[in-house]
Amino acid sequence: MSFHIDATVRARNLDVSLSLGPAETVAILGPNGAGKSTLLSVAAGLLRPDAGSARLGERVLFNLDGGSRVWTPPHLRGTALLAQEPLLFPHLSVLDNVAFGPRSAGASRAQSRETARHWLAEVDVAQLAERKPGQLSGGQAQRVAVARALAASPELLLLDEPMSALDIHAAPHLRRLLKRVLSGHRALIITHDVLDALMLADRVIVMEKGTIVEEGATREVFRRPRSQFAAGLAGLNLLAGTVTEDGLRTFATAGGASLAGGASLHVAGHLDDEAEPGQPGVAAFPPSAVSVFLDAAHGSPRNSFPVAITDLEPHGDHIRVRAGDLAADITPAASAELGLEPGSRVYFVVKATAVQVYAA
Amino acid sequence: MKIARRNVGILLAAGSLIAGLAGCAGSPGAGSSSAGSSSAGSAGSASTSPQLSGTVTVYAAASLKATFTKLASEFEAKNPATKVVLSFAGSSDLVTQITQGAPADVFASADTKNMGKLSDASLVDGKATNFATNVLTIAVPPANPASISSFADLAKPGVKVVVCASQVPCGASAQSVEKATGTTLKPVSEESSVTDVLGKVSSGEADAGLVYVTDVKGAGDKVKGVPFPESSNAFNTYPIATVTTSKHKDLAAAFISLVTGSEGKKVLADAGFGVP
Amino acid sequence: MNYSGIPRWVYGLAAVGGLFVLLPLAAMVAKINWAQFIPLVTSESSLTALGLSIRTSAASTALCVVFGIPLALVLARRPFRGQRLLRAFVLLPLVLPPVVGGIALLYTFGRQGLLGKSLELAGIQIAFSTTAVVLAQTFVGLPFLVVSLEGALRTAGNRYEAVAATLGARPTTILRRVTVPMVLPGLASGAVLSFARSLGEFGATLTFAGSLQGVTRTLPLEIYLQRETDADAAVALSLVLVAVAVIVVGLSYRRPHRADIPAEAAA
């Protein structure tokens, strides 16, 4: 009983292969346009890929590679989709919305309403059963949408940023709810939120430009991110390159335009046990460990990166100084003293002991 | 949204059309009216008078379309400085239009009843002249699928007969024939104009229709006429008159004398009209 | 926020536009012979014509719904080759003179027509029958339903249908339980417009169906005929037609529980 999908959508540059075990929840992370929603649409049967195949347990969802092409329509797939917006049917009561799945599967009106009441109670909105969707708050509506998706007893639940349209009070509530109901369900959840991934997912997948760039157990990915996107979510600066005896030599383009000249440079850092010199690897360090100087600071064991500031933004009680993909957190007082502004050429300085180097 | 935009377009088009028509009707009429009336004094009633000039507007029953079109060009040929504007419609429509102020100089009706209505409205100048008659006949498709050969055949079961409604002249005539012959027709449709009756027969939808002799003649080989003796029980008389409000009474009189004169008689007889 | 953003001269033109419609109606009402009004509109021929008009319009509206919903779905949901052409043809009766529609129908369903010949052999005669009236009305009324329903379908989008499918609903179930209920306001106003257009249908009926009391002589044909002899009756019946149209159109623009949809979309 596992789910496997392998799909290519040329128009959207998607080429992905992934598997889910039974009762496993996987979070899909990635920047906008990475192809996350496209992947979900393909799995749900709303979008036909150019090539590939997918299987959910015994059921072939599609197979476009062999001689005999198979395409199972969405309603026969056992995959329920929960989108950013609840999309409750506006003309049906909350109860009938939730009863929609069981009713479509052939259950009687009474039976399907019974199932609906059960799931409404599961998501703590049993008292809203008789309301129309127009009378619900955003958070309530999304809970009902969760109940509706679960009432269809899907073998795979597809969640496309279910929390992103909710206000900051409703989101934690729904997150706790999802944590409870998703245990025991197989689910794919697209999210932009580290917290969602940490709380809900057993495993995360990072997608960029239509392909999977990183995958692994949630905690491991955030502890040692290997992709720029995951590092951003984990709040770490990340430089990619080749592992050396005492650190990492970056690729010439590492850090993009932020490193003045874009030249290859050496990063001194603490080598992880498994990192072997000569291997591809990454160097990670938190913005809080980075100091900003107007002049190059010399002397080992410190790293000094010449950068051009791209942005300054408030970050808690600090100022986050961004230079391309790199960031430094400094106090407002320090920022004022240095007279920083976008375009300023400065040095990001970080101690070697604050830099972790590990295999990519 | 789409509908709305389209309607605006139609309205605009209609608006400009109305404006255009008003312009056309207004300027030449007004411009030539003084010329027309100034020549009236010396012109007298001679239709060949070279002094006649201007535009004369003739409102005539639809059944007169072919004959009056021909007579109008004869009139223009004889009087090169004149122009005849013709308007054809059902007689009662024309009466309504003239009483509402339509700029007619001459009115030719398909029956005396409608001329009477105009006369009641004090819009007939002098007395109307009867200039033609028309009798009913049976029109059938060329193949005559229902084998109609007499008026009584029209009452046979299964024959699809179309007649005019009793409210219009041709329908009234048909009713008097029915009464005279003791035959009761069960028409499949009672049309509001004789043209519609003819159309249903020529398209083959109906097996037979009651129309005027002149309609059958005018339709060429699209329909065949089946004359019946009882038709003499019902004929229409066509009167013609000058409209009181006309500003071109000399031209109107000249046109009427052409219609009632020998040329007119010949053209009307050729088309199947009878002499009153 | 009370600011309308409408220049003042627009109100002037709007008033002229409104008067352009209202004034002729008022003029007609002023012409009515009220002493004779009730006897005129309750005469046997008037009542027969009114009854026939309402029955045929109801039947043609039903046909418009049955064929218009599928047409609107095909036009709104998925682009295909020739879609623009199909839409243009479906909308053609909107701009076509009705008499042209009548001629076209005659050459299709008439005795000598494209389909009429075969129908005649099968013992079905359409010309001069009430069926012909209904066909003529359907021909001119269909585009109104298709246009307004297609608009409603496009506005609604197909996201709800996608969700319904992933919940296990078959396409037919989705159509019945999601699509149609969601565009019900658009469908209703389209049906009302079709009904109103059918009620006023004249040219195509006259050309294609003929005119016989109780069979094919609908209210507009009766008015046209009465005008020949009895202007008072024609005006009185015209007012009845206007009243029926106003009631029908007025009822449709009350729009039940429309407020739910924006609330849901905003959530």
Q: Please tell me which of the candidates C164, C171, C267 has its beta carbon nearest to residue A141.
A: C267
Nearest to C166 among A44, A89, A138 (CB): A44
B231 within 8 A of B162, measured Cβ to Cβ = no
Distance CA A243, CA A229 (A): 21
Domain ranges, ordered by start, for chain A: 3-223, 235-359
| Mean pLDDT calculated for residue range A333-337 | 88
| Per-residue pLDDT at B5 exceeds 70 | no
Chain A residues touching residue C160 (CB < 8 angstroms): 87, 89
Distance between CA atoms of B149 and A88, rounded to whole angstroms? 73
Residue bearing tokens 């002037």: C12
Distance CA C124, CA B39 (A): 66
Mean pLDDT value of segment B206-216: 92
Q: How far apart are CA C165 and CA B30, in angstroms?
A: 73
pLDDT band at C232 (very low <50, low <70, confident <90, very high): confident
pLDDT digits (tens, 9 = 90+) for B15-29: 444 444 443 443 333
CATH superfamily for domain B134-235: Periplasmic binding protein-like II (3.40.190.10)
- Chains in contact with B via at least 3 Cβ–Cβ pairs below 8 Å: C
Instruction: Please indicate whether chains B and A are in contact, defined as at least 3 beta carbon pairs under 8 Å.
Output: no
Query: In chain C, count of helices (H) and strands (E)?
Result: 15, 0
Identify which of C127, C144, C228 has the shortest CB distance to residue B192: C228
Judged on CB neighbours under 10 Å (0-12, 13-18, 19+), A137 is: middle
User: Is B189 an interface residue toward C (CB < 8 Å)?
Assistant: yes
The answer to whether A45 faces chain C, any CB pair under 8 Å, is yes
pLDDT of amino acid A130: 94
Q: What architecture (CATH level 2) is domain A3-223?
A: 3-Layer(aba) Sandwich (3.40)
The yes-or-no verdict on residue B48 having pLDDT over 60 is no
Q: What angle do CA B210, C106, C206 make, to 5 degrees?
A: 60
Contact at CB, A137 and C267, closer than 8 angstroms: yes
Mean pLDDT of the C149-169 span:
92
Task: Please indicate if any CB of chain C lies within 8 Å of the CB of A90.
Answer: yes
Please choose, from the candidates B78, B106, B66, the residue with its C-alpha nearest in 3D space to the C-alpha of residue B241.
Answer: B106
- What's the rounded Cα separation, in Å, for the pair A261 and A259? 6
Tell me what pLDDT residue B266 has. Answer: 93
Question: Closest to A133 (Cβ–Cβ): which among C162, C164, C264?
Answer: C264
Contacts with A262 (C-beta within 8 Å, 6 or more apart), sequence order: A252, A253, A255, A256
Q: Which of B192, B207, B222 best probes binding to C when mutated, by most C CB atoms within 10 angstroms? A: B192
- Lowest-confidence region among A327-331, B56-60, B214-218, C247-251: C247-251
More confident residue, B2 or A87: A87
Edge to edge, what strands does the sheet with A211-217 contain?
A: A79-82, A156-160, A187-190, A25-29, A203-208, A211-217
CB nearest to C263's CB, from A45, A79, A134: A134
Helix axes B2-43, B249-260, angle to 10 degrees: 80
Residue type, A10: R
Task: Give dist(CA C79, CA A80) in Å, integer.
Answer: 26
Does the distance separating the beta carbons of C225 and B167 come in below 8 Å? yes
Taking Cα atoms as reference points, which of A47, A119, A36 lies closest to residue A77? A47
The answer to whether residue B33 scores a pLDDT higher than 60 is no
Q: What is the mean pLDDT of residues B46-74?
A: 83
The C-alpha of B162 sits at a distance from chain C's nearest C-alpha, in angstroms, of 9
Q: Is the pLDDT assigned to residue A146 strictly greater than 50?
A: yes
In whole numbers, what is the pLDDT of chain C averaged over residues?
A: 88
**The two domains B54-133+237-270 and B134-235 share their CATH topology (first three levels equal):** yes
Q: What is the pTM of this model?
A: 0.77
- Average pLDDT over every residue of B125-151: 92
Whether residues A85 and C162 touch (CB distance < 8 A) is answered with no
Per-residue pLDDT at C17: 95
Non-local CB neighbours of C164 within 8 Å, separated by 6+ positions: A89, A100, A104, C173, C174, C177, C178
Q: Quick one: average pLDDT of C185-191?
A: 91
| Nearest CB to B3 within list C147, C209, C228 | C147
Mind listing the pLDDT tens digit for each residue in B190-210?
Answer: 998 888 899 899 888 899 999
A80 contact residues in C (CB cutoff 8 A): 166-167
Cβ of B6 and C211 within 8 Å?
Answer: no
What would the two tokens of residue A148 be? 């509706």
Q: How big is chain C by its Cα radius of gyration, in Å?
A: 22
Could you please report the per-residue DSSP string of C30-68?
HH--HHHHHHHHTSHHHHHHHHHHHHHHHHHHHHHHHHH
Question: DSSP letter at C214?
Answer: T
> For A235-359, which CATH class?
mainly beta
Q: What is the DSSP secondary-structure string of B85-106?
A: EEEEE-HHHHHHHHHTT---SE
Domain at B54-133+237-270, CATH class? alpha beta
* Distance from the B271 Cα atom to the nearest Cα atom in chain C, whole angstroms: 26
Could you give the CA distance from residue A344 to residue A113 in angstroms, rounded to a whole number? 64
Taking an 8 Å cut-off on Cβ atoms, the answer to whether A91 and C171 are in contact is no
* Residues B244/B107, Cβ–Cβ less than 8 Å: no
Q: What are the extents of the domains in chain B?
A: 54-133+237-270, 134-235
Better pLDDT: B43 or C249? C249
CB contact under 8 Å between A80 and C167, yes or no, is yes
| pLDDT exceeds 70 at position B30 | no
Is residue C56 predicted with pLDDT exceeding 90? Answer: yes
pLDDT at A259: 57
